Chains A and B, each alone.
Chain A
Amino acid sequence: MKRLIFKFSTFLCLISLFFVWVSPVKAIVVPSPNSSFYVMDQANLISTSTELDIIKTSEALYYETGAQIVLVTLNNLSGYDIEQYSVQLFRDWGIGNKEKNNGVLIILALEDREVRIEVGYGLEGAIPDSVAGRILDDYMLPNLQDGEYDVAFTETYNAVLSRVMAEYGLDSLTGVESNTSNENEVPWFWIIIGALILLSLDGYYLNGFILNLLLRTMLLASFGGSSGGSSFNRGGGGRTGGGGSSRRW
């Protein structure tokens, strides 16, 4: 009898290996967002004051509408097309609200001399491709050609911002004084309760299979990084379908 139970358990263990979740191979590796989320100035083109302004405005926009406008500068695209790179980064970071998909990514690659505005599903009416192209033509390109990066980004950002605000019928944004900790605490509490219930069930019925899976994912997620600073923002889980426009300069 004991031998039978042993064989049966071994059989179950082997079978459980077949339930390993196979994830499709990710084609492009993109950087993780930093703690501010809204500006990642890898190519060091933006002045600190402009960066802070953009972050604060994006935060205010987020609190009022859930929309997220993100600005990223890169040194290069690691050989990828800017379109594919933008879609990957946009989705990885989850720009915009999950339900409304109202995110916009303004991305520039310095060495490749390419720039793109990637628009989430939900804002494609507010910023159709031709408008995105025009914004780049009117505000980004002329200033880039003059080497005026701060002006280029500020004007482009504002052009995008005004379109998004128009979409939501806003004339102005109320500033954000308090830090974001409140916004993030409530969801986490329930997640922890749920997790404890799940883990106890998992331990009782499934011999810790789910715990194993969780530990593996947590290990990967911990490299994404979170900072202890007062401004910790994150993506709302929005997606893009590839809408927007690109330019070279």
Chain B
Amino acid sequence: MKKWLVPIALVVVLGFMLMSGYNSLVVNNENVNGKWSQVENQLQRRADLIPNLVETVKGFAAQETEVFTALANARAALAGANTVSETAEANQDITSALGRLIAIAEAYPELKSNTNFLALQDELAGTENRIATARMDYNSAVQSYNTKVKSLPTAFYAGLLGFSEREYFEAKDGAEDGVKVEF
């Protein structure tokens, strides 16, 4: 009777460890998903702002076609992005293009003092900040999750259960944390 007790106890304990490890992976993975949703939310929010912004600027500076084209291309790239890194790069391009669009106002005093434009500037800055925050939250969630996936003893069975490392939301090399849109 006593001889069988120890191996059985061992199996039970290992079973519980496996279960809690798996649950922890699930929780962390869902957290990453949730944070990614938030990133996409904020990207969408900015996308909704852009038409209004473009129209306002065109009202005063329609001839600056180069900037409008750059922005349109960047938006198309974001729409076509499938992976996290593609999204990160497209996001970077949009931020740069928007920065140039806002910079145009420097040459057009009427635009610069237009109340609608000023309000849009604030909204845009706020949205860029939200994207930055959502990105920070997402990367933090990915860090927790990746740490779990790579740590022992979960590393032994994470792959078998379908859990693999997830991508960080990172800007291109040499671009830091996204261009800070300063006004």
For residue B8, CB closer than 8 A to chain A, the reply is no
Residues of B within 8 A of A112 (CB): none
B37 touches A (CB below 8 Å): no
Bound: A18/B17 CA distance, A? 11
Instruction: Report whether B126 and A245 are in contact in the complex, using a CB–CB cutoff of 8 Å.
Output: yes
Using a CB–CB cutoff of 8 Å, the interface residues on chain B facing chain A are 2, 6, 9-10, 13, 17, 38, 42, 118-123, 125-127, 129-134, 136, 140, 143-144, 147-148, 151-153, 180
Asked if residues A245 and B10 are in contact (CB atoms below 8 Å), the reply is no
CA distance in complex: A4, B3 (Å): 11
Contact A8 to B130, CB < 8 A, known contacts A22-B147, A130-B123, A132-B122 = no
Q: Bound complex: CA of A241 vs CA of B39, how far in Å?
A: 10
Chain A residues packing against B (C-beta within 8 Å):
1, 4-5, 8, 12, 15, 18, 22, 24, 81, 83-84, 87, 128-130, 132-134, 240-246
Look across to chain A and name the residue whose beta carbon is closest to the beta carbon of B147.
A22
Q: Which of B10, B129, B134, B147 contacts A83 (CB 8 A)?
A: B129
Given A4-B6, A129-B126, A246-B125, CB of A12 within 8 Å of CB of B140: no
Question: Which listed residue, A84, A132, A241, A246, touches B134 by the CB 8 Å rule?
Answer: A241
Q: Which residues of B contact A15 (CB under 8 A)?
A: 17, 153
Contact B140 A242, beta carbon cutoff 8 Å: no
- B125/A242 in contact, CB under 8 A: no
Q: How far is the CB of B71 from chain A (nearest CB, A)?
A: 20
